[in-house]
Structure 1
Amino acid sequence: MTVRTFTAPVALLTVFAALLATMYLGYASNTEKNLHDFPIALVNQDLGDTIDGTPTNIGAQITDALVAGIPADKVDLRVVGIASARAQLENGQVYGAIVIPSDFTKRLAILGAASVIPGDIERPVITVQSNPRIGPYTAGIMSRIADRALAQVQQTVGKNLADRVHATVGPEGSAQISGAARLAIADPIRIVDVPFRPMPDGAGQGLVAFFYTLILLLAGFTGAMIIHTLIDSVLGFTPTEYGPWFVHPPATGTSRLRTLLIKWAVIGAAAPILSAVFLGTAKLLGIPVTSPLLLWLYGTLAIIAVGFTALSVLATFGTAGLMINLVLFIVLGLPSSAATVPLEAVPTYIAALARFEPMHQIYLAVRAILLFDGRAEAGLAQGIWMTMIGLAVGATLGVAATFAYDHRGLHRTTDAPTSPNATRTPALAS
């Protein structure tokens, strides 16, 4: 026993704990402060009207006020037409939309006239559409942004409408305006908050896409760990313990590259079976799956990509590969997945990880298949291509590392040194 026996594990665990705290606590600690580039569509369909002999378009004025008032560094406000807004909502490219209808100015003018002339009063409407299929936390952020922005609009429009009504009827007429009319003038706009394409039954408010992503990634990640241990045991490279019993057959002398290929073959054979188990379980639990074949095929690809890469990391770095895989697939993956809190509401250093993190790519594809009708624009195309790129990178790493080790004669052996001057051959696991 040496001091290093105790200090090395403690130091490693301390660094690991610091990384966990930085990623997970920073991930959800202050979404309002971290908000950036949150995409929202703004649609002005208002045709305008003639008020007091002057052509007026209140919708255009509100649009300009929202563009000027909503912080550009926090919200990506896109002024678009209704068709473009719907397309971006359907593809998950915007997280909500604020829609001003075509009769907005006309209804506001009628509201002002009805306050002094007996008749029904109907307030003009602005619709706030959230996009719940993006994620369960996104709709709440969208509502808060819209509430704050439209509260100022409500106050400004109400004041302008009240001034115009009082100027029209004069001081004596103002006294005749009823209390109900005064309330309607002060709060002239009816804000309607509705979801765009509500979540289907059985979708768990969108969390089902996240958990399906998680089981695919864990199947590849933990599957690689299990296969790595069992194959190395069968080939005699590592001992196996069954309770108090210890088994260590003689090493077969299989090359590192061939050992890796055997492990890849096992995860490749298991992947379609595991994907089918996940799909069948989802159907039995009543989870809506509109494209089962596509989900099965992509699930198989994702498990193979994660499994191949995890096995390659183990073959390259040996025991240290266990920690590398844990950090790569889990510690960095969960906060940057965008499965609960959107990337636009997390610190930028976490959002940057989503460019390459496997969990985010898998989540985009799974969410597109389960909640966005398998649309390529909704993340399926990016998820597939990035998964294939990850598979290629992982396979290249594994082949290059194991071939190099074999070529240099760094064979896996448990033979003891034959003399005091002899050196032990490095025994990196594969």
Structure 2
Amino acid sequence: MDTIRITPRRLARMVAAPTAVLAVVMSLLGVMYLAYIADPEGNLHDFPIALVNQDVGDTIDTDGRAEHVNFGKQVADALVAGVPADQVDLRVVGISESERLMRTAQIYGAVIIPSDFSKRLGILGVGSVVGGEIERPIITVQTNSGMGPYSAGIVTRIGAQAMAEVNKQVGDQLTTRVRDTLAASPQGSPEISGAAQLTLAQPIQVIEQEWRPLRAGAGMGLTAFFYALLILMAGVVGAMVIHTMVDAQLGFQPTEYGPWYVHYPPTPISRFHTLLLKWGVMVVVAVVISLLYLLVAKILGVAGDQPVQLLLFSVLALIAVGMTCMASLAAFGTAGLLINLAVFVILGLPSSSGTVPIQATPRYIAWLAEFEPMHQVYLGMRSILYFESDYAAGLGRGIWMSLLGLLLALIGGIAITRYYDFKGLHRENFLDKKAV
């Protein structure tokens, strides 16, 4: 066997080329992943939460005259003023609109002031000096569990921070009102007990509540992310495997397993028809893999109540990802592997919003989520698994973005391979040229 001597210059290239490529790729990976998780609350922006004030108010006696008050409105106004507008998108809506926004995955949670808030607050003031059992007025902070476990924590912390200041303001007002009422009483000015003062200082009880708790097997809202990740990886890895094995069968590269080595004679086939063949294999693989994923999900109890929708969307998304990866490989060759890695994995996972809400990531990552495939697949999976396949909850966007990606893959793949064939850049033409 002829041997080619490895010169110092060639050895230097062997070391420098992969080192440079890996340095760039891994640096990008480090920047994206560490920036994604480093400071979610510091990166918070446009985080949507609903504020619902159902309080109908109450009539109280003030200096011998009836006065209508609405403490719920005061609390709502205080929340709007107290919540940082550059971080939280606080939407003041009715209860039916809040339910719709929750159901369609448009908000991460809601702060709800009940209809009897003013009445209970008035009773609390009277009860602080009159014997008997009383209950503190309640404000409910609802979390949308289907939006992911981290989002629920952010909603709870925002609610706790905002309500702490509101509680102080309301407590100060209520204490002053009670003292003024006692001072004007003909019976004199009885003292407020220490226990009553503590109650008046923190008059509002904040209750945390899950809106439609997720069923068993939902993984606290993480199964949609991991299912989307499985689909994405099947598309990327599947494209690489199909690309390599089909090329080996066509004789464009050798096949080697351990000591077994074979290099089939080259097949006279154009780049365009080679790509069509690979795409056809990808369609078959997408159906088989999606069925296997669904079977595993059913066995583990994570498939949800929409198995048909889950299967169909999985097939569509897998075909779109796989065919796009193959078009990239057809256009750029080996460099397509790095492009696919960057687009689908390095940039895709941090912008997916599957673990950390997209509104809690740096703005450039939120911008990537507008078109990155992983985010679109995740939205579709989340809608199917947690929101009854509601199109408005992300399934519609997932379908149309998958179709758009598939269309771009078809147009780009056909155009580039046709162009290469038209220019006479057939792969078989290079087989007779020996490397010097």
Name the TM-score class by shorter chain.
over 0.9
The aligned counterpart of 2:194 is 179
The alignment status of 1:95 with 2:108, answered yes or no, reads yes
* Range with greater deviation from structure 2 (369-378 or 241-250): 241-250
In structure 2, give the amino acid aligned to 1:41. Answer: A
In structure 2, the partner of 1:156 is 169
Partner of 1:208: 223
Deviation at 1:173, TM superposition (A): 5.8
TM-score (norm 1): 0.95
Show the 5 A alignment for 1:139-288.
Answer: 139-170=152-183, 176-288=191-303
Q: Which amino acid aligns with 1:112?
A: G
Alignment partner of 1:318 is 2:333: yes
114 and 173 in structure 1: CA distance in 2 versus 1, 3 angstrom threshold: farther
Match of 1:18 among 27, 30, 39: 27
Confirm whether residue 132 of structure 1 aligns to residue 148 of structure 2: no
C-alpha displacement of 1:178: 2.3
Say whether the 8 Å CA contact 1:201–1:288 is kept in structure 2. Answer: no
1:294 matched to 2:303:
no
Describe the SS at the equivalent of 2:42.
helix
Q: Partner of 1:347 in structure 2? A: 362
> Could you tell me how far 1:175 is from its partner in structure 2?
5.1
Q: Which residue of 2 aligns with 1:415?
A: 431
Contact kept in structure 2, 1:62 and 1:153, CA below 8 Å: yes
Range moving further from structure 2, 9-18 or 27-36: 9-18
* Alignment correspondent of 1:66: 79
Distance in 2 between residues matched to 1:122 and 1:194, nearest whole Å: 19
**For the structure 1 residues 153 and 410, does the alpha-carbon distance in structure 2 shift closer, same or farther, using more than 3 Å as the test?**
same
Alignment-mate amino acid for residue 349 of structure 1:
Y
Shift of 1:323: 0.5
On the 8 A contact 2:108/2:147 being kept in 1, the answer is yes
In structure 1, what is the equivalent of residue 68 of structure 2?
A: 55
Q: 1:255 touches 1:411 (CA, 8 Å); kept in 2?
A: yes
Retained in 1: the 8 A contact 2:49–2:107?
Answer: yes
Alignment-derived partner of residue 116 in structure 1? 129
| Structure 2 residue 53 is the aligned partner of structure 1 residue 44 | yes
Tell me the percent identity. Answer: 53
The answer to whether the 8 A contact 2:139-2:204 is kept is: yes
Which SS does the other structure have where 2:90 is aligned? strand
Comparing 91-100 and 168-177, the one that deviates more: 168-177
2:397 to 379, 382, 398: 382
Structure 1 residue 416: Cα displacement: 4.2
Deviation at 1:304, TM superposition (A): 0.6
- 1:405, 1:411 within 8 Å by CA — same for their partners in 2? yes
d(CA) in 2 for partners of 1:400 and 1:9? 30
Matched, 1:405 2:420: yes
Preserved contact between residue 38 and residue 74 of structure 1 (Cα < 8 Å): yes
**SS state at 2:302 partner:** coil
Pick closer, same or farther for the CA change 1:183–1:174 going to 2, 3 Å: farther
- CA-CA distance at 1:270 after TM superposition: 1.6
- Is structure 2 residue 42 aligned with structure 1 residue 33? yes
Moved more, 165-174 or 28-37: 165-174
Distance 1:71 1:260 in 2: 52
Matched with 1:428 is: none
Is the 8 Å Cα contact of residues 112 and 141 (structure 2) preserved in structure 1?
A: yes
Please state how far the C-alpha of 1:399 moved relative to its aligned partner: 0.5
- Consecutive unaligned residues of structure 2, counting only runs of 5 or more, are 1-6
Which residue of the other structure, out of 343, 363, 387, is the alignment partner of 1:372?
387
| Partner Cα distance (1:174, 1:186) in 2 | 19
CA RMSD of aligned residues (A): 1.5
Instruction: List runs of 5+ in structure 1 lacking aligned partners.
Output: 425-430
**What letter corresponds to residue 290 of structure 1 in structure 2?**
D
Letter in 2 for 1:415: L
Q: Which of 15, 38, 47 is the matching residue for 1:6?
A: 15
Q: In structure 1, what is the Cα distance between the partners aligned to 2:349 and 2:211?
A: 27
How much has 1:170 moved relative to structure 2?
2.2
Q: Secondary structure at the match of 2:52?
A: strand
**Normalising by the residue count of structure 2, what TM-score does the alignment of the two structures yield?**
0.94
Take 1:301 and 1:256, find their aligned partners in 2: how far apart are those partners? Answer: 25
Worse-superposed segment, 62-71 or 309-318: 62-71
Assess, with a 3 A threshold, how the Cα gap between structure 1 residues 119 and 229 changes in structure 2: closer, same or farther.
Answer: same
State the match for 2:93 in structure 1.
80
Match of 1:335 among 329, 350, 353: 350
Aligned counterparts of 1:173 and 1:215: Cα–Cα separation in 2: 74
Q: Which amino acid aligns with 2:28?
A: L
